[in-house]
Structure 1
Amino acid sequence: MTNNTGWANFILVGLFGQSQHPALLCVVIFLIFLMALSGNALLILLIHSNTQLHTPMYFFISQLSLMDMMYISITVPKVLLDQVLGVSTISVPECGLQMFLYLTLGGSEYFLLAAMAYDRYVAICHPLRYPVLINHNVCLLLASGCWFLGSVDGFMLTPVTMTFPFCRSREIQHFFCEVPAVMKLSCSDTSLYETLMYLCCVLMLLIPVTVISGSYSCILLTIHRMNSAEGRKKALATCSSHMMVVTLFYGAAVYTYMLPSSYHTPQKDMVVSVFYTILTPVLNPFIYSFRNKDVTAALRKIPFILSEYGEVCLKKKT
């Protein structure tokens, strides 16, 4: 086989090749994409416009929504545009950029979920010290740390992956440039790199999982000791939303980056990637909004805010 290490384009197999109704699937994915963007954007606007939601918990939720909007925008527009135009290629620089952004946002979200678990731990286990331990500066520091650690993951894995020689078929059995799918095209021995990547991913997951497990162990003990049934119910409702998101996101990440290759097939990998790349961003705002009284109360105020804004505009015109 010839060595194709040059700047020849990759070919993305995509989601529609094996579908019996590609046009219908394209419309469904487009609608999901719009729902994800509108849901997360609405949640961000609510949090920033409503003073009652200016708390550390909602600050972290707004960061999560921002990551989800960027996360789904990395892959889905390219998939839909290629289907409409009948194109299936992606250049090497575009592939590298997509891989870097994907790894950065994925890694950032791992650590953000850990920061959110720590926030709930302090709020429930140390409520009197909460304003001091989780103040505005601490929130900014935690969020910045999450973005930084995620970018470290992207900077470590992307350059190494893209510099391997590719001498096999240029077809990526995926709908975007994910590291494991691209590595399968390499003709060199990647076993050492795959081991190092595995250890890196274990570390990237182990640290947040340790923080989350420790936080929720303490939270459950505190809830168990509560005398108030209403307090228990409120604490469990707050934490259950976060745990649903953690389970969805981490479960898919463990499958993709930590299970041996014998468990993987291109079809399974694509289904799992669709789940946490396309479906998770649209589920997160629903999990946090419809299960949260503060957010639903803020949603009810939107018509009154719009009417007041309209009256102010009319007065200025007259």
Structure 2
Amino acid sequence: MKAVLGRRLESLDDFTLESLPLPEPGPGQVRLRVHSTGLGFADGLLCTGRYQLKPALPFVPGCEFAGVVDALGPGVEGVELGLRCAASAMGGGCAQFAVVPVSSLLPLPTALDFPRAAAFWVDYTTAFHALQDRARLQPGERVLVLGAAGGLGLAAVQIARLLGAVVIAAASTADKREAARAVGAHECLDSSAADWPERLKILTQECGIDVIFDPVGGEGFEMAFRRLAWGGRHLVLGFAGGSIPALPTNLALLKGAALLGVDIRQFILREPDKAAAARAQLAQWVGDGSLQPATGVAYALEDFRSALASTFERRRIGKTIVTVLQE
């Protein structure tokens, strides 16, 4: 099989497309014939050794992918060959076949094709968990989504809208703001403008923001926190802005505000029943047409290096898709 392989994690140039033996599933595992793989900012960090976790070497990129069950390992029951599903793992998706634990499989709703499935489960489950469980978002509350045109940001815009919030999307270009508006943002804000905090004050009629959805961090972190309403919640989901900010803690005291971390990996591990319920809700929304997952630019497997490089591209809209096998 063809697979993208890196024997060290320093540069994207360390990765090559190679021919590898077909992997065989072990006990409790299945093999997927991969159709599509989704790549986000974390994938680029993993490949360059800058992620908080270091994967085992050699490493095949791609932590979220979708395809068809191709083989069953010993003792696996209740899964049929040919099942359309998605899976997530610490790598493996940029290959024609991947072996994963049967417990990681997520059967696909009929309405969900492989490219959208590869961009869907992690980002949308993260957004749902962040807004529903961590922020306890209420209908009518105001949500500011930072980095609103990334895969996670677009998911947050859609989920917040479905939960009944008033959604303000912040993004740095007109194309990004239009993408956020197209999936449901009520208002859009130019986050590259020096006066964006003042503009936000106007948009909220000086009432402040109830929930900030923040996968960006960086220089705008404190300015955003200062725009929280009394009792506001600032969700920390990552640091795509490049730096991990510090916050004067007196601001939390003065606003009665909360700073809340969101870690989807630990959520799934520690609260599997709640994670399953979140995915069931998402699948229902997809099935009835309430939710239409967004994707970004698609690349062929042979163009994997451009796909990985795009995860660092600030102009990127949505989640990058690697097309491993055409439907």
Q: TM-score, normalised by structure 2?
A: 0.25
**Which has the larger strand fraction?**
2
User: Bigger radius of gyration, 1 or 2?
Assistant: 1
Q: TM-score, normalised by structure 1?
A: 0.26
